[in-house]
Amino acid sequence: MSAPIKTLSIDGRDVSATAEQTVLDVATENGIFIPALCHLDGITPVGACRLCLVEVQGSSKLLPACITRVEEGMRVTTDSERLARYRRSVMELLLAERNHICSVCVSNGNCELQALAQRLGITHVRYPYLFPKHSVDASHERFVADHNRCILCARCVRVCDEVEGAHTWDIMGRGVDCRVITDLSQPWGESETCTGCGKCVQVCPTGALVEKGKSVAEMSKRRQFLPYLAMMRGRNQ
């Protein structure tokens, strides 16, 4: 089976792709860096974090690279002053929205949010921190959900639904009040659908979902299973 080939340019470089690929896929394949936090190979992209916004010639809007399919003759810019400004704002808003206190976090040093903030050159947040009051759910026998550190990327929701097939996780609320929940917003430990597989913990980009018993900077995630499972299911073929 051969898919039709599309030719496009990214940052002035001519690249080719198959029709079902996204701009982010093709950029990554060609070694062009586009920041992203909600995207993860092996689960359906949703365009939630808005960090992968790119400029496409002919469109006045910025488009999220993770859910934008390639088109013949497309001209994409992944790096400009305007994009840097937007990405910086998005990142700072993520940091201001919850209580991300890296110095006392189990994921310190192994956190995608922390690492990306550094990569984008962020040394401070210009917006006032919201300091919301959020709970920590430690009712599960092996895992902890700390909503203070959640960025609502929905990786946990997607991996639980699409890969594990349990759909324990979901998101409730609107806007700034959104939060991830287990079952019908019951304590995780009382969930009837959770299989305890831990996939949600391993794909979480921050210290929001972690294993119990870890101290500061001890929690590193293992997500090698995901591309493997995706490949075995033939999605990457």
- Give the binding site for another protein (CB under 8 A): 95, 99-105, 108-109, 111, 114-115, 117-126, 128-129, 131-134
- Determine contact, residues 149/98, Cβ cutoff 8 Å: yes
Those residues whose C-beta lies under 8 Å from the C-beta of residue 30, and which sit 6 or more positions away, are 10, 13, 15
CB of 63 to another protein, least distance (A): 27
CB of 156 to another protein, least distance (A): 22
The count of residues in the chain is 237
The smaller minimum CB distance to another protein, of residues 47 and 207, is found at: 207
**Burial (CB count within 10 angstroms: exposed 0-12, middle 13-18, buried 19+), residue 149:** buried
Locate tokens 């895992």: which residue?
143
CB of 112 to another protein, least distance (A): 13
CB of 87 to another protein, least distance (A): 13
The smaller minimum CB distance to another protein, of residues 100 and 221, is found at: 100
CB of 229 to another protein, least distance (A): 31
* Residue 32: CA count within 13 A, CB half-sphere: 20
3-state secondary structure at position 23: helix
The smaller minimum CB distance to another protein, of residues 33 and 228, is found at: 33
The smaller minimum CB distance to another protein, of residues 128 and 234, is found at: 128
- From residue 38, give the alpha-carbon distance in Å to each of 75, 113, 155, 233: 24, 10, 6, 22
The smaller minimum CB distance to another protein, of residues 123 and 224, is found at: 123
The smaller minimum CB distance to another protein, of residues 214 and 235, is found at: 214
- Determine contact, residues 33/49, Cβ cutoff 8 Å: no
Closest C-alpha among 26, 125, 35, 148 to residue 76: 26
